[in-house]
């Protein structure tokens, strides 16, 4: 009964048009007051503030404002034009070349901006008129750009991945740099499928191929070279062991100022304060939701929500593949009803420990699957950020945009199935990097293997032997190290040594 009351209260807040952070905070406060047994309600509610304050101990969070600022600085310049020109010159000669170039431009731009909606606006604004002018069907053009724009949440440094890494702790903790690395191939896989779709449609569009021009490619490459160094610098620095993901944010921030203001001279220094204030505003609207969701996570941990879910799946006798199928259906529905960041903050800490402990799913693999779901969430109505943005920038009714993305949404859902049941798509490159076999089978018998294992009482992981000096760490040992660091509130460890 109290649960129904709480649900009605949150629904009423939604009907009144209250801000999302009030919905999250109100739900958190309601949960603490109605479902916990403390004598003093003020002490219960103070835990919300305590969790908000805990942000000062989460180093990974520091990278978010830096990447937001870096993306804001870079996108204020002419980077979208430079990158689309380069993509056109590089792949425009293929069948459906202009459409393929749109996908490529979205990938590279997303790597710089880190934001799906910003990618859609920047690249879509340039490429949509060009696609239509070259004879591509309007609906196809809208669907392709809207879907390719959503790749932003998978291309490192992706804010969605950072939020996932912040929200999961204990047994399911992941290192953000590993998550970044594991997300690259699935993102390229999805982009490849979208490009394949573009080629397929482009075959029947006369004039869809551009003439290959070496000089144009050289000029475009020269113009975009500095922009391309930013993702290379960030990813190279992280995986080269030069800096952590958090520090990479600061490096990206300084590099973007250098590129946009000094090298490209697209952004005058005088505009920087306004751009930084803009980034701060964007971060502010995100931060409130994030810090209030910490309180909700605290409540869910206190009532052992993952344990409850574990009990349900044990009672339902679900196998690993059935569990993952169910989780993904639930996540797609949630992604359609909630914004992706809130859905990650609330549901990742509940579902990830069950997947990892109960079914032996690799935590990195589950993280990637979760983020692909959130990408779908950007495209699944009614709460689909990229559909709203597309309707606004392409000036089309919401329903038409929704219909336009259906084929590409189907392609991404197909890719999701492959990423779920072929974990190597995500974890293979990581395995190779760490000296393990590329192939990692899906734990089809995960339930049988893990159902009887003891459940950690406080989210702590079972002890794992430490590696011998000089010996490579096993996956378990690496996870143990990540958990220990997460438990200390420190940034999750990089698997590469600091110089």
Which residues in the 472-491 window bind another protein by CB under 8 A? Answer: 489
Other CB atoms within 10 A of residue 158 CB: 27
Q: Min. distance of Cβ 251 from another protein in angstroms?
A: 6
Q: Min. distance of Cβ 347 from another protein in angstroms?
A: 18
Q: Which of 162, 182, 250, 361 binds another protein (CB under 8 A)?
A: 250
457 CB-near residues (< 8 Å, 6+ apart):
none
What would the x/- binding string for another protein be over residues 35 to 64, using CB under 8 A? Answer: -------x--xx-xxx-xx-xxxxx-xx--
Q: Is 383 in the site for another protein (CB under 8 A)?
A: yes
Q: Min. distance of Cβ 23 from another protein in angstroms?
A: 8
Q: Is 378 in the site for another protein (CB under 8 A)?
A: no
Q: Min. distance of Cβ 342 from another protein in angstroms?
A: 9
Q: Is 80 in the site for another protein (CB under 8 A)?
A: no
Query: Which range of residues in 220-228, 278-286, 297-305, 314-322 is near another protein by CB under 8 A?
Result: 278-286
The secondary structure of 324-390, three-state, reads HHHHHHHHHHHHHHCCHHHHHHHHHHHHHHHHHHHHCCCHHHHHHHHHHHHHHHCCCCCCCHHHHHH
Q: Which of 2, 36, 204, 281 binds another protein (CB under 8 A)?
A: 281
Euclidean distance between CA atoms 7 and 90, whole angstroms: 53
Q: Which of 204, 285, 314, 466 binds another protein (CB under 8 A)?
A: 285
H-type alpha helices, 114-213: 116-133, 138-149, 159-167, 176-202
Q: Is 400 in the site for another protein (CB under 8 A)?
A: no
- For 472-478, the CB contacts below 8 A with 24+ separation are 472/434, 472/435, 473/434, 475/362, 475/436, 478/434
Q: Is 287 in the site for another protein (CB under 8 A)?
A: yes
- Contact in structure between 104 and 157 (CB atoms under 8 Å): no
Q: Min. distance of Cβ 377 from another protein in angstroms?
A: 14
The tokens 């220990």 sit on which residue? Answer: 484
Nearest CB to another protein, comparing residues 417 and 498: 498
Q: Is 22 in the site for another protein (CB under 8 A)?
A: yes
Q: Is 258 in the site for another protein (CB under 8 A)?
A: no
Q: Is 284 in the site for another protein (CB under 8 A)?
A: yes
Do you know the residue count of the chain? 499
- Contact in structure between 194 and 147 (CB atoms under 8 Å): yes
Euclidean distance between CA atoms 86 and 460, whole angstroms: 49
What would the x/- binding string for another protein be over residues 103 to 142, using CB under 8 A? Answer: --------------xx--x---x-----------------
Residue 41: φ, ψ to 5°: -65, -30
Site for another protein in 405-434 (CB under 8 A): none
């Amino acid at each position: 009964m109290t649960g129904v009351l709480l649900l009605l209260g949150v629904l009423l807040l939604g009907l009144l048009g209250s801000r999302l952070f009030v919905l999250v905070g109100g739900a958190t406060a309601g949960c603490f007051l109605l479902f916990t047994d403390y004598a003093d309600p003020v002490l219960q509610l103070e835990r919300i503030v305590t969790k908000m304050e805990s942000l000062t101990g989460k180093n990974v969070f520091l990278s978010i404002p830096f990447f937001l600022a870096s993306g804001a600085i870079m996108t204020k310049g002419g980077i979208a034009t430079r990158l689309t020109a380069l993509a056109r010159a590089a792949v425009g000669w293929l069948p459906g070349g202009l459409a393929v170039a749109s996908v490529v431009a979205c990938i590279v731009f997303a790597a710089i901006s880190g934001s799906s909606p910003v990618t859609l606006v920047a690249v879509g604004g340039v490429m949509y008129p060009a696609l239509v002018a070259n004879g591509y069907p309007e609906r196809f053009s809208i669907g392709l750009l809207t879907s390719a724009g959503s790749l932003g949440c998978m291309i490192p440094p992706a804010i969605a991945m950072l939020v996932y890494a912040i929200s999961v702790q204990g047994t399911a903790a992941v290192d953000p740099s590993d998550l970044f690395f594991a997300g690259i191939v699935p993102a390229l896989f999805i982009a490849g499928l979208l490009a394949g779709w573009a080629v397929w449609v482009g075959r029947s569009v006369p004039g869809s191929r551009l003439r290959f021009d070496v000089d144009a490619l050289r000029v475009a490459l020269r113009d975009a070279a500095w922009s391309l160094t930013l993702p290379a610098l960030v990813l190279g620095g992280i995986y080269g062991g030069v800096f952590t993901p958090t520090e990479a944010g600061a490096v990206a921030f300084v590099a973007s100022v250098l590129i946009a203001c000094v090298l490209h001279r697209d952004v005058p220094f005088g505009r920087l304060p306004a751009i930084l204030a803009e980034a701060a505003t964007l971060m502010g609207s995100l931060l409130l939701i994030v810090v209030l969701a910490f309180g909700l996570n605290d409540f869910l941990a206190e009532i052992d929500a993952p344990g409850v879910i574990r009990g349900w799946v044990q009672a339902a006798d679900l196998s690993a593949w059935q569990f993952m199928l169910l989780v993904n259906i639930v996540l797609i529905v949630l992604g359609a009803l909630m914004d992706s960041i809130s859905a990650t903050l609330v549901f990742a800490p509940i579902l990830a420990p069950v997947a990892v402990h109960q079914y032996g799913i690799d935590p990195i693999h589950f993280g990637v699957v979760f983020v692909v779901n959130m990408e779908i969430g950007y495209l699944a109505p009614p709460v689909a950020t990229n559909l709203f943005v597309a309707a606004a920038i392409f000036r089309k009714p919401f329903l038409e945009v929704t219909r336009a993305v259906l084929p590409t949404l189907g392609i991404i859902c197909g890719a999701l199935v492959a990423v779920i049941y072929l974990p190597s798509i995500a974890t293979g490159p990581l395995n190779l990097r760490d000296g393990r076999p590329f192939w990692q089978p899906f734990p089809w018998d995960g339930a049988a293997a893990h159902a009887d294992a003891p459940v950690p009482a406080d989210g702590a992981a079972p002890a794992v032997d430490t590696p011998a000096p000089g010996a490579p760490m096993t996956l378990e040992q690496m996870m143990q190290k990540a958990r220990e660091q997460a438990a200390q509130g420190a940034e999750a460890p990089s698997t590469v040594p600091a110089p």
